Structure 1
Amino acid sequence: MLISNDDVRRGIENDEFVPFFQPLVTLRTGELAGFEVLARWHHPTAGVLSPDRFIPIAEQNGWIDALTKRLMQKAFEAGKLIPEPLTLAFNVSPLQLHDLDLPKRIQSAAEDLGFPLQRIVIEVTESAVVDNVERAQTISNELKALGCKIALDDFGTGYSSLLHLQSLPFDELKVDRSFVGSMIQRRESRKIVAAVVGLGQSLGLTTVAEGIETREQAEMLLWLGCELGQGWLFGRPIPAEDLPTTVEMPREKISFNHSPGLWGGLAGNALPSQRLAHLQAVYDGAPVGLALLDRNLRYVTLNQRLADMNGASVEEHLRRPVAEMVPKAFHHFEAFMRRSLEGEVITGVEARRPAGPGQGDRDYLLSYQPVRDEGAEVVGVSVAVVDITDRKAAEAALRESEDHHRHMVELNPQIPWVLDAKGNAMAISPRWEQVTGMNAATAEGKGFLEAIHSEDRPSVENVIATSIRSGDPIDVECRILCRNNRWRWIRSRGAARRDASGIIIRWYGSVDDIDDQKKAEEALRKSEAQLKAIFNSVPVAILLAAEPDGRLSLSNPEASRIFRYPAPSRHIIENYAQWGAIRVNGRRLECGEYPLARALRGQKTSIEKALCLRADGTEAWVSLLGAPIVRGDGSVQGAVVVVQDIDEIKRERERLLTLAEALIKELKGQTSSARLEAEL
């Protein structure tokens, strides 16, 4: 269908021209950045017509201002459906860039409908600037003063000139769709797009790519550093009524799943110029030897670290082959480099290189990464060399230390163990299996309890639970079943390890074999019982003092009977003032003369006959023997006194002597025989 001037005029008069909105997306995040406003004609018979069918006619016949004004009014009205800070971009005809009233008309249309001027982008082509640069500058500066942004559209397709970029206050630089559409297939287009993006970024301009139709195009643009994109991949132009749905539509972030390139992973975070400076700083300052080799395995670039490793300056390496710089090592690494040139990523290659005289060999870890251009062609190899000599030495020392500690654990007569914060066994010495036959896996958790005697297990569980609650050390004795099916006594002790906040994170301890000790204690208890039985059954009193002041520590029942005092026996000395006095030959002894006191001074004492005051106030005849208890070094640690009750014997003897004396007296006095018989 042929469109005439009258058709366009009639369409304007009938208000048949409407704005359509094409999404602009931030490539790095996938988020919506705004819309470009595109003119569409709802023709009564031909349907929706694109701008190329009517814009040239409108420009030729003076209808462009009226058409632009009406489109802007409708777009600003629809802009109420677009949330901040999303922008609206409008294309301005080259003819309109000669009209000094253009800024005022744009301002008026926006303010009448309440759309912020700061969210408006005016797109102009270089052809609009060429005819009258000064007037274009004036109009652009006025638009900038109002808050609008200025974008240079279709850069590279017309009279591209750096003078134009410098003359006008542009904010954005748009890459034409013709280059974007062919950049995947054509290397020349890729270079042009890269140059335009790099130029814009070097001038501080936001770069926008038009006509993005595939994900591969979007990924490559993002890798090149382009910031905004539009095209059918992100959405076709839509009428105003579809804006709310489009604004709310979830969008997928562009990633680098398919994009090649050495620095692809950094593309989304900085401009190419910034990335270059950043990467150069990283490259030079890295503690790793780095180099880029071309397909002929010549050094294109390298850092000082690798130059030092090779023993030559950076300048001496450049453009020279690896085989020439490291001839002794080249044959070891050539195969890896060749494989990398075929596209293979190779990491973790260990190598040892002899050092200079008097120095030890050095160990290195090498990686080879194919370097691809934007078309995914391998153009070289990136080499990374890490000096791991110290790490290898540390690993060897660690292995030696681990061996040392492992042998210490395995040969230790004790059985070290580790519990978690809840009391579950995490690790236990191999000696546990040697002793009990229970392997480490079985002993983990609560398994170790199965080796404990059923009578002792509740006590062990209670001790562990109590320590876990209180944080107090674990200390418990129990019996465990050994390989020979015999029970042995053990003692397990452990303490908690806490973190910086005081929370218990582990328990560490060990098991000691105390079976022999337990048997000795049992034998001692039996021996003590036997000795005690003998001690309590002997027919003499035995008094022991183990204190310097002479206080008794032990006495037997015979002592209580002889001295008539109640338990405890210590009272026999404490009550000397009231009872316990000893008389020998009628003389009362001083306390220091008592056998016990003399024995504590290291002297033996024997008294055959002594009259002792008993606790009940009566007196009894006793014989006493006192002796010191001497340590191995000859010092006195106590005393023992043995007392024999001779009171009945003494008194019976005295009675017999009295009778004998009476008999002798009677005989002398011729006492009658009858009386003598009665006495006898």
Structure 2
Amino acid sequence: MRVGADELRRGLQCDEFEPFFQPIVTLCTGELAGFEILARWRHPEHGILLPDHFIALAEQDGTIGSLTGILLARAFAIAGSLPPHLRLSVNISPHQLHDFLLPPQIESLAGSFRFPLSRLVIEITESAFFDNLEHARAVTLELKKLGCRIALDDFGTGYSSLLHLQALPFDELKIDRSFVHSMTKHRESRKIVSAVIGLGQSLGLATIAEGVSTPEEAGLLLGLGCEAGQGWLFGKPVPADQLPALVQTPPQPIPRQSRNLSQEIFSSTLPSHRLAQLQALYEGAPVGLAFLDRNFRYIALNQQLASFHDNPLESYIGRTVAEMVPDIYPLIHPYLCRCLTGEAISGIEIICPARETRPETAFFVSYVPVYDEAHEVIGISVSVVDITERRRMEAALRESEDHYRHMVELNPQIPWVLDPQGMAVSIGPRWSELTGSTEEESLGRGFMQYVHPEDQQLLENTIARCFPIGEPVDVQFRARTRSGGWRWLRSRGSPRRDKQGNIVCWYGSTDDIDDLKRTEDALRRSEAHLQAVMESLSLKLQKLAAS
């Protein structure tokens, strides 16, 4: 269906053109930010016609200025009933951007309806600069002086040039719907959208995505840091009488693409800030860090990792893991392959064989998959910790423990550790050999069951007296042996205190003094027998002397 210039002029005279309004939504909150003004022609025969049927004709016929004036006048009048924080966006034809009468025309219309131009966003396409950049720049600056915000529409299509961003005072970048529609399916489109958003953030420009039609697209845009969006997901273009219902609709938060708060905060920062932060982390980290692509090539790494293998840092970039560490590559290759499937792997201990320049070394390695905006694995984050010294210390500790164990096993004494309440937490193996008990049976107050009944109260009294005040322990008692007999033991101990002087535990040892006790008993019996003999001999001598 085609219309001619005469039909167009008739429609303008009969006031058949009107603005429709499509919502623009803030992605992070789901709240309404404003509307884009879209032209519609209520044709008496063909119904509502879209701009594709008449905008190009209006530009050729020279009536585009009149059409824009009609749309803005009606939109400014309607805006009086809208909340004051909502902005209106309007697309200006490239032909109009070379018309120096455009800024005063817009100023006059806004003044007639008391519409503040700080609420108006002028959208222009890059094709407007192609014929005469200086004219377009002059008109744009005049609009900017009036308080209008300037948006670059359909960025990334047509005559894209960074020169335009440098030469003109833009406030917003609008991402073309073609990239938005394909970014959930094509990685290249995602990268273009990500680059546009990153460029906008770096230049301090707000980014608005057009043609958002699914929650997945909205969530992906939000994750990339896009600020606002418009499209059928948020609402189709509607006539003015439907605006009150749109304004009163509660905001619908955009579902985040399985991202946590820290990821959201990180993605919302400027790319230059993120890069600076990552560089600081890489250089300041006490561990080796690297990023590998899907072909296991080094894309980035820090000096710490390079030093682990005695290679210059720059020699790694662009080369594969197999090339840089061929001696351990067969060990780590299976882990790298698993990581590409999305599995995070941590705690892998890798032993690097000795070389001429260094001894055998040990590393603690972790591999974490790195995802893009669509949750596809694009590489591997590697962290490496040199644990060679720790392994040496662990080996020395094990050797020391072996020495201690052998000393304890060969020591005739029974070492023990009691807590401040007198509960046994450790008893040497000699106790089990003596009593036939297991260590578990003797822990706590279990050791008391092997103490002679006549000596149990003595032991309890000693603990009750000495432990609260930290008085050294020295007590003798009898313990039941595995054969059912009794042997005399002597137990001595002292408290261990913390820096505040509080008793932490008690260390002590128990000696087998049974032979000594038997010798002492035999000696006492011998002394008593000798005393009796001496007394008997003395009586006999006295009797002899008397006779």
Partner residue of 1:180? Answer: 180
Q: Distance in 2 between matches of 1:81 and 1:159?
A: 38
Match of 1:414 among 417, 422, 427: 422
Residue 396 of structure 1, CA deviation: 11
Residues 409 and 389 from structure 1, CA distance in 2 versus in 1: closer, same or farther, beyond 3 angstroms? farther
Partner residue of 1:32? Answer: 32
Residues 315 and 97 from structure 1, CA distance in 2 versus in 1: closer, same or farther, beyond 3 angstroms? closer
SS at match of 2:80: helix
Partner residue of 1:288? Answer: 287
Would you say the 8 A contact 2:87–2:121 is kept in 1? yes
Residues 435 and 86 from structure 1, CA distance in 2 versus in 1: closer, same or farther, beyond 3 angstroms? farther
Q: Deviations over 1:166-222 (max 9, x none)?
A: 332222222222232223334443444344444444443333221122233334434
Which aligned pairs between 1:115-194 and structure 2 lie closer than 5 A? 115-194=115-194
Partner residue of 1:527? Answer: none
Q: Deviations over 1:4-30 (max 9, x none)?
A: 444433433343322222222333444
Partner residue of 1:335? Answer: 334
Residues 296 and 241 from structure 1, CA distance in 2 versus in 1: closer, same or farther, beyond 3 angstroms? same
Q: Distance in 1 between matches of 2:113 and 2:103?
A: 16
- AA at the equivalent of 2:232: W
Residue 137 of structure 1, CA deviation: 1.6
SS at match of 2:278: helix
Asked if 1:431 is matched to 2:444, the reply is: yes
Residue 224 of structure 1, CA deviation: 4.2
Partner residue of 2:300? Answer: 301
Q: Deviations over 1:77-97 (max 9, x none)?
A: 332343343321111112222
- AA at the equivalent of 2:64: I
Q: Distance in 1 between matches of 2:61 and 2:174?
A: 28
Q: Distance in 2 between matches of 1:177 and 1:358?
A: 58
Would you say the 8 A contact 2:220–2:374 is kept in 1? no
Partner residue of 1:500? Answer: none
- AA at the equivalent of 2:162: L
Which aligned pairs between 1:634-653 and structure 2 lie closer than 5 A? none
Which aligned pairs between 1:128-527 and structure 2 lie closer than 5 A? 128-247=128-247, 248-257=249-258, 268-351=267-350, 364-372=363-371, 378-387=377-386, 410=418, 414=422, 431=444
Residue 373 of structure 1, CA deviation: 5.0
Partner residue of 2:59? Answer: 59
Would you say the 8 A contact 1:20–1:238 is kept in 2? yes
- AA at the equivalent of 1:342: T
Q: Distance in 2 between matches of 1:395 and 1:271?
A: 45
* Residues 356-365 or 272-281, more deviating: 356-365
Would you say the 8 A contact 2:174–2:208 is kept in 1? yes
Q: Deviations over 1:520-541 (max 9, x none)?
A: xxxxxxxxxxxxxxxxxxxxxx
Q: Distance in 2 between matches of 1:21 and 1:434?
A: 88
- AA at the equivalent of 2:298: Y
- AA at the equivalent of 1:302: L
Q: Which protein has the larger Cα radius of gyration, Structure 1 or Structure 2?
A: 1
Residues 14 and 324 from structure 1, CA distance in 2 versus in 1: closer, same or farther, beyond 3 angstroms? closer
Q: Distance in 2 between matches of 1:301 and 1:170?
A: 34
Q: Distance in 2 between matches of 1:43 and 1:433?
A: 100
Partner residue of 1:496? Answer: none
SS at match of 1:431: coil
Q: Deviations over 1:66-122 (max 9, x none)?
A: 222222122223323433433211111122222212111212222222222112110
Would you say the 8 A contact 1:121–1:150 is kept in 2? yes
Alignment TM-score, normalising by the size of structure 2: 0.66
Q: Distance in 1 between matches of 2:162 and 2:145?
A: 23
Q: Which runs of 5+ in 1 are unaligned?
A: 402-406, 417-428, 437-507, 511-680
- AA at the equivalent of 1:277: A
Q: Distance in 2 between matches of 1:393 and 1:74?
A: 82
- AA at the equivalent of 1:301: A
Partner residue of 1:626? Answer: none
Q: Deviations over 1:427-456 (max 9, x none)?
A: xx97368889xxxxxxxxxxxxxxxxxxxx
Residues 7 and 397 from structure 1, CA distance in 2 versus in 1: closer, same or farther, beyond 3 angstroms? farther
- AA at the equivalent of 2:422: Q
Would you say the 8 A contact 1:224–1:267 is kept in 2? no
Alignment TM-score, normalising by the size of structure 1: 0.54
Q: Distance in 1 between matches of 2:446 and 2:302?
A: 56
Residue 289 of structure 1, CA deviation: 1.5
Q: Which runs of 5+ in 2 are unaligned?
A: 402-414, 425-441, 450-502, 506-547
* Residues 385-394 or 65-74, more deviating: 385-394
Q: Distance in 2 between matches of 1:319 and 1:147?
A: 49
Would you say the 8 A contact 2:29–2:252 is kept in 1? no
Residues 145 and 334 from structure 1, CA distance in 2 versus in 1: closer, same or farther, beyond 3 angstroms? same
Q: How many residues align?
A: 424
SS at match of 1:268: helix
SS at match of 1:72: helix
SS at match of 1:25: strand
Would you say the 8 A contact 2:35–2:89 is kept in 1? yes
Residues 183 and 413 from structure 1, CA distance in 2 versus in 1: closer, same or farther, beyond 3 angstroms? closer
After superposition, the CA RMSD in angstroms is 4.2
Q: Deviations over 1:606-647 (max 9, x none)?
A: xxxxxxxxxxxxxxxxxxxxxxxxxxxxxxxxxxxxxxxxxx
Residue 291 of structure 1, CA deviation: 0.9
Q: Distance in 2 between matches of 1:163 and 1:78?
A: 37
SS at match of 2:279: helix
Q: Distance in 2 between matches of 1:391 and 1:35?
A: 63
Q: Distance in 1 between matches of 2:308 and 2:302?
A: 10
